[in-house]
Amino acid sequence: MPEIGGKEVGPIGFGLMGLTWRATPPTQEQAFAAMSAAIKNGCTCWNGGEFYGSPDYNSLVLLERYLEKYPEDADKIVLNIKGGANPQTHQTDASPENTRRSLDDCVAQLKGRKKIDMFEFGRRDPAVPLDVTFGLIEKEYIQTGKIGGIALSEVRAETIHEAVKHTKVVAVEAELSLFSTDILENGVAAACAQYGIPIIAYSPIGRGMLTGQFKKFDDLPQDSLLLSFNFPRFRRENFEKNVQLVEKIEEIAKKKGCTPAQLAINWTRALSRRPGMPTIIPIPGATTAERVEENGKLIDITNAEMAEIDDILTKFTPVGGRYPEIFQVNT
């Protein structure tokens, strides 16, 4: 079993974003069922955000309500919370004032039902030195027992090399999927391996693309954030080219007797066994218990199958960037 911050977690985790941050969130009852299913299926590394939804209904609000009903589940999960966005500007703000505001709000929102095991800024703030922010968090929040540790999110390799000089980095959250293999080539995975830092791999099913549910552009839900934020890979002119990868993955999944999502999720896991790679824990999101159960299934991918997928990826280049231009990446 992999470990994060000295605590064992399941090989596959659980992303909470979709339970609160979408045009039409699922009911609280449905969200609770999905969260309960995650624990039952061993998906115990949970990843949420202060800004995943509105202040009155974000990951922390939902978690507090869930743990009020199921207090026995608090010790079963390792919780990573993303914060640090300035409420006025909606930009990452690692100033001492906003760092305290964000952490205080996150801790208070959970009402003592669960300690935050890891806290991370959604992106690096280039305006504030890492030692200033990390020094404050270490002294005022980690040493006082308010939170467990510090993680990084959406950072480049240079930031990891710099961060480890100032703090113990518990984990690095990064996008990794068959559509997004950047961290395997840009030094991020190598840096994590060098320091023994696990990677929390978000969007392992390519924001839903690798489930195989979307065969054509018009299959995308019209209230999807992918459309409202105009994600490049989901633009009409790019969609039909990108779906070609999905078709190839579906073929392998069919031969293997698993779903495309299961193949995609477990492919990210299987990368961990390659030389020079860190532990990788994919955190697929899901809004129903049935989908959580599907995503949480452990599938062994053979070396021959990994080689077959390597060959597909060598010949395929995704069309469009990971994020719209308004989002910072590789900070």
Residues 52, 66, 141, 202: which is the catalytic one? Answer: 52
Whether the CB-CB separation of 49 and 204 falls below 8 Å is answered with no
| Apex 33 CA angle, 71 and 59, nearest 5 | 65
Q: Per-residue b/e over 10-28, b at no fewer than 16 CB within 10 Å?
A: bbbbbbbbbbbbbeebbeb
Q: What tokens appear for 121 in the block?
A: 């800024």
Residue 120 to residue 67: CA distance in whole angstroms: 22
Rg (CA), the chain: 19
Is the separation of the CB atoms in 197 and 278 below 8 Å?
yes
Please, are residues 150 and 116 in contact by the beta-carbon 8 Å criterion? no
Active site residue 52: yes
Residue 66 near residue 77, CB atoms below 8 Å: no
CB 92 within 8 A of CB 124: yes
Q: Which two tokens stand for residue 140?
A: 């005022």
Hey, which bits of the chain come out as E strands?
Answer: 3-4, 7-8, 14-15, 45-49, 78-83, 118-121, 150-153, 169-175, 199-202, 280-282
The 10 Å Cβ neighbour count of residue 123 is 22
Separation in Å, CA 107 to CA 148, 169, 170, 288: 11, 20, 18, 27
Which active-site residues does the annotation give? 52
